[in-house]
Amino acid sequence: MEKTFESVPEGALTGSLRDYRAPEGADLVGRVGAFYEWQNLRREHGLWPYARSTETAPQARCEARTDSGQTFAGINFASQDYLSLSSHPAVKQAAIDAIAEYGVHSAGSAALLGNTANSLKLEQGLSEFLGGREIVLYPTGWAAGYGSIQGFVRTNDHVVMDILAHSCLQEGAKAATQNIHYHGHINLDALARKLERIRNNDAQNGIMVVTESLFSMHSDTPDLGAMRALCDRFNATLLVDCAHDLGSIGDDGLGHLGLQNMLDGADIIIGSFSKTFASNGGFIAVRDRATAEYLKYYSATHTFSNALSPVQAASVLTALNIVRSEEGRQLRRKLMDNILYLRAEMTKAGLETLGDPSPIVPVRLGLEGVGRFASRHLSALGGIANLVEYPAVPQGGARFRFQVMASHSFEDIDQVVEILARSMRDADLEYRVSHEGQAAEPRRAGRTGAA
Domain CATH code at residue 407:
3.90.1150.10
Q: What is the pTM of this model?
A: 0.92
Q: Give the SS3 label for residue 443.
A: coil
- Which 3-state string (H, E, C) describes 390-423? CCCCCCCCEEEEEECCCCCCHHHHHHHHHHHHHH
Domain that residue 406 falls in: 45-76+327-436
The domain tally of the chain equals 2
The ranges of the chain with pLDDT < 70 are: 1-4, 435-451
132 and 269 within one domain: yes
Q: 235-261: per-residue pLDDT in tens? A: 999 999 999 999 999 999 999 999 999
Name the amino acid, one letter, at 96: I
Q: What residues form DSSP beta bridges with 72?
A: 64
Q: What residues form DSSP beta bridges with 364?
A: 399
176 and 60 within one domain: no
In a domain, 18, yes or no: no
Last residue of a domain, one of 297, 323, 349: 323
Last residue of a domain, one of 268, 300, 323: 323
379 and 398 within one domain: yes
Would you state the pLDDT for residue 200? Answer: 97
In a domain, 269, yes or no: yes
End-to-end CA distance of the chain: 31
Would you state the pLDDT for residue 318? Answer: 98
Would you state the pLDDT for residue 240? Answer: 98
Would you state the pLDDT for residue 174? Answer: 98
Domain CATH code at residue 140:
3.40.640.10
Give the list of residues 6+ apart from residue 90 with CB closer than 8 angstroms, or none.
318, 322
Task: Measure the CA–CA gap between 19 and 34, rounded to whole angstroms.
Answer: 10
255 and 171 within one domain: yes
233 and 106 within one domain: yes
In a domain, 23, yes or no: no
Give all strands of the β-sheet with 207-212 in edge-to-edge order.
Answer: 134-138, 282-286, 268-272, 237-241, 207-212, 158-162, 180-183
In a domain, 109, yes or no: yes
354 and 407 within one domain: yes
202 and 302 within one domain: yes
In a domain, 382, yes or no: yes
**Alpha-carbon dihedral angle through residues 62, 213, 141, 332, given to the nearest 10 degrees:** 40
234 and 182 within one domain: yes
Under the phi-then-psi rule, with left for phi > 0, alpha for psi from -120 to 50, and beta for the rest, what region is 255?
left
In this structure, are residues 111 and 302 in contact, taking their beta carbons and an 8 Å threshold?
Answer: yes
In a domain, 28, yes or no: no
Name the amino acid, one letter, at 77: F
352 and 293 within one domain: no
Would you state the pLDDT for residue 391? Answer: 87
Would you state the pLDDT for residue 2? Answer: 56
Please compute, for residue 281, the number of CA atoms within 13 A of its CA located in the half-sphere on the CB side.
29
306 and 238 within one domain: yes
105 and 233 within one domain: yes
Last residue of a domain, one of 323, 354, 381: 323
In a domain, 448, yes or no: no
In a domain, 447, yes or no: no
183 and 269 within one domain: yes
